[in-house]
Amino acid sequence: MTETGNEKHGERAIACWKSPSNIALIKYWGKRGNQLPRNASLSITLSNAYTVTRVEAAPLAQAGTGPEVEFRFEGEPNPAFAARIEKYLKQLTAYFDFLPDVKLLIETGNSFPHSAGIASSASGMSALALCLCSIEAQLKGQQEDDTFFRKASLISRLGSGSACRSVFGGITVWGSHPAIAGSSDEYAVQLDFELHPVFRGLMDAILIVHPGEKGVSSSKGHQLMEGHPYAEARFAHAAKNLSELAGVLKSGDWDTFAGIVENEALSLHAMMLTSSPWFMLMHPNSLMIINEIEKFRKQTGTKVCFTLDAGPNIHLLYPADEAERVASLKETLRPHCHNGVIIEDFMGNGPEKLSCR
């Protein structure tokens, strides 16, 4: 460890961050090395679906034996989450030299029910990474500047690949790609050009088709891309889709946007359907909803399209000024949702540091 005049090892430090989930438009599916992507991905950072995490680091009586961890999810101990976090923190001692000297109290909670079937790893891991980076900044007297957020994105990635995209607002890209200046496999970056107005404040209504755990964990899913007969074609296709989407985000061509975004969602599911073993993660109602969206768009010409994660829920994407027309579509789709649940979300500004005690 390099000791600087500002080092405050041996002191208590607290950090608290609110970090949102994100939804990928160009999908990451397949990884290599230590959580590095096989293709670049692009996502919208959301707003209403978020995690709030508070981390308190207290010096251990015996420095160098930590980190010790106490973990509470929504006020309760949660051994399953705690085990995952402990494993994650062990590998982070290479990135944070204060970790072996502290006991961490981690308290976290989501704005959405865990059972809703919304991936919480992106918001959860990015919130935790931001807290750890803030604690390091406090202990070392560092600024929370661009370098800080880049490190927070890298640390998030080590917990869950897609989480690295949640560290920035708007639209972010993770993975090296010639169309995106400064893009890297190590961390995400924000788009460096102005979005066409049609995409600013893009709306995302999350149709909860089926709540609960996914049929396959994403780490298993990524693994299944190794030796997958269509893997190389998929990675090349994702890169081409990203190039085209980058152009569309500037030009504002909604129809091309919708075509690329839907192609990406269906390509992701096609990879799962053609892996060995195969996984069918859509639910019959997912298909009903997709067909209804297509029918409504043809009949009304409304700017609306869909995407899916590795699960059955449908994200309905539309520009803010189409909200009124999409409201009637939502009512048609609601009966296909679990208990009629639709979570209203939109493109947000990224994580927020909260004051905490």
List of residues contacting ligand PMV (CB under 6 A): 24, 27-29, 41, 121, 160-162, 218, 268, 309-310
Is 24 or 231 the residue whose CB approaches ligand PMV more closely?
24
Is 111 or 267 the residue whose CB approaches ligand PMV more closely?
267
Q: How many helices (H) and strands (E) does the chain have?
A: 8, 14
Q: Is residue 192 packed enough to be buried (19+ CB in 10 Å), middle (13-18) or exposed (0-12)?
A: exposed
Which residues does residue 109 pair with via DSSP β-bridges, in sequence order? 52
Cβ at position 27, least distance to ligand PMV in Å:
4
Is 24 or 249 the residue whose CB approaches ligand PMV more closely?
24
Is 16 or 40 the residue whose CB approaches ligand PMV more closely?
40
Is 40 or 329 the residue whose CB approaches ligand PMV more closely?
40
Return the beta strands (E) in 60-148 as ranges.
Answer: 68-73, 76-77, 102-110
Cβ at position 179, least distance to ligand PMV in Å:
17
Q: Which two tokens stand for residue 126?
A: 């990015």
* Whether the Cβ atoms of residue 313 and residue 217 lie closer than 8 Å to each other: no
Cβ at position 250, least distance to ligand PMV in Å:
22
* Whether the Cβ atoms of residue 50 and residue 122 lie closer than 8 Å to each other: no
Is 27 or 177 the residue whose CB approaches ligand PMV more closely?
27
Is 66 or 161 the residue whose CB approaches ligand PMV more closely?
161
Q: Is residue 148 packed enough to be buried (19+ CB in 10 Å), middle (13-18) or exposed (0-12)?
A: middle
As a whole number of angstroms, the distance between CA 27 and CA 346 comes to 19
Return the beta strands (E) in the chain as ranges.
Answer: 13-26, 31-32, 36-37, 41-59, 68-73, 76-77, 102-110, 171-174, 188-190, 203-207, 305-308, 314-318, 342-346, 352-353
Which one-letter DSSP state was computed for residue 320?
A: G
Is 47 or 121 the residue whose CB approaches ligand PMV more closely?
121
Cβ at position 275, least distance to ligand PMV in Å:
13
Cβ at position 8, least distance to ligand PMV in Å:
33
What one-character-per-residue DSSP string does 211-228 give? -S--SS-HHHHHHTTTT-
Cβ at position 192, least distance to ligand PMV in Å:
20
Cβ at position 211, least distance to ligand PMV in Å:
17
As a whole number of angstroms, the distance between CA 277 and CA 355 comes to 47
Cβ at position 121, least distance to ligand PMV in Å:
5
As a whole number of angstroms, the distance between CA 43 and CA 308 comes to 12
As a whole number of angstroms, the distance between CA 248 and CA 25 comes to 13
Cβ at position 350, least distance to ligand PMV in Å:
16
As a whole number of angstroms, the distance between CA 322 and CA 27 comes to 25
Is 27 or 54 the residue whose CB approaches ligand PMV more closely?
27
